[in-house]
Amino acid sequence: MDLSQFYMFHAIDDGSSVIVRRGDGAAKITAGGARWKSVTRPKRTSIILFDGTDAYELDVPVLLDGWAGSDSIEADIAKLNQMRFSHADLSRPSRIRIDGALPVKGATWIISSIEWGDNVIWHTEGDKVFRYRQDAVVHLIQYVPEATLTGIKPFKTNDKIITVKKGQTIKQVANGDHTKAKAIQKANNVRDVKSITANERLRVPRT
């Protein structure tokens, strides 16, 4: 297939896909890229500081068209529309990959919304009403996965968190229990038991 005239939308998480024609106009980047902020300085020119990078936002005009073969496009419309939504409680909508002529290559996207247009051909067969043609603009946001910090051990749900009092030692926190004191020392990566200070928060493993 000549993908210069088509887009293929792939739902990464559920494996579904739909092929649509390029719509009226080219796909356009509408937001994203480097973010800058202006910082004022008294009696001097403001300076510009790099403030991070925003995910791309992309508008893709499409045309679902079965007119030449007198084919209903309702199934393809439903598949494209379902790529927007979560399929179950507590689950995210599918991530999307798009093949075709786009200004950003190789990105993963999520569909934020679909703007259905007025270029529509309806057809009636008996009591069935369906479309041969429907245009739309698919609004997408680049998917950027959450970053997980490494090297930081989160508190376990069964650990007790205490605030060290002035003059308190790990041995006192452990109520004189040598084994428990060693566990507290290990859980908090404390090399020198004399190094803890007032108001410091410590994990106290439950034994």
Q: What is the pLDDT of residue 183?
A: 86
CATH of domain 6-142: 2.40.30.200
d(CA 28, CA 30): 6
* Contact (CB, 8 A) for 65 and 73: yes
Is-same-fold flag (6-142; 160-204)? Answer: no
d(CA 43, CA 46): 9
Q: What is the pLDDT of residue 191?
A: 78
Up-side HSE of residue 80: CA atoms within 13 Å toward CB? 28
d(CA 36, CA 23): 33
* Contact (CB, 8 A) for 23 and 136: yes
How do the pLDDT tens digits run along the chain, 207 residues long?
666 799 999 999 989 999 999 999 999 999 999 999 999 989 999 999 999 999 999 999 999 999 999 999 999 999 999 999 988 888 889 999 999 999 998 899 999 999 999 999 999 999 999 999 999 999 999 999 887 555 555 555 567 888 888 888 888 888 888 888 888 888 888 877 777 888 888 888 876
Q: What is the pLDDT of residue 150?
A: 59
8 φ, ψ (degrees, to nearest 5): -115, 115
**Residue 172: other Cβ atoms inside 10 A:** 12
Domain boundaries, the chain: 6-142, 160-204
Reference 31, options 145, 139, 105, 147; nearest CA is 139
Looking at 3.30.1330, 3.10.350, 3.40.1130, 3.30.810, the CATH number of the domain 160-204 comes to 3.10.350
* Contact (CB, 8 A) for 18 and 79: yes
What phi-psi label fits residue 20: left (phi over 0), alpha (psi between -120 and 50 degrees) or beta?
beta
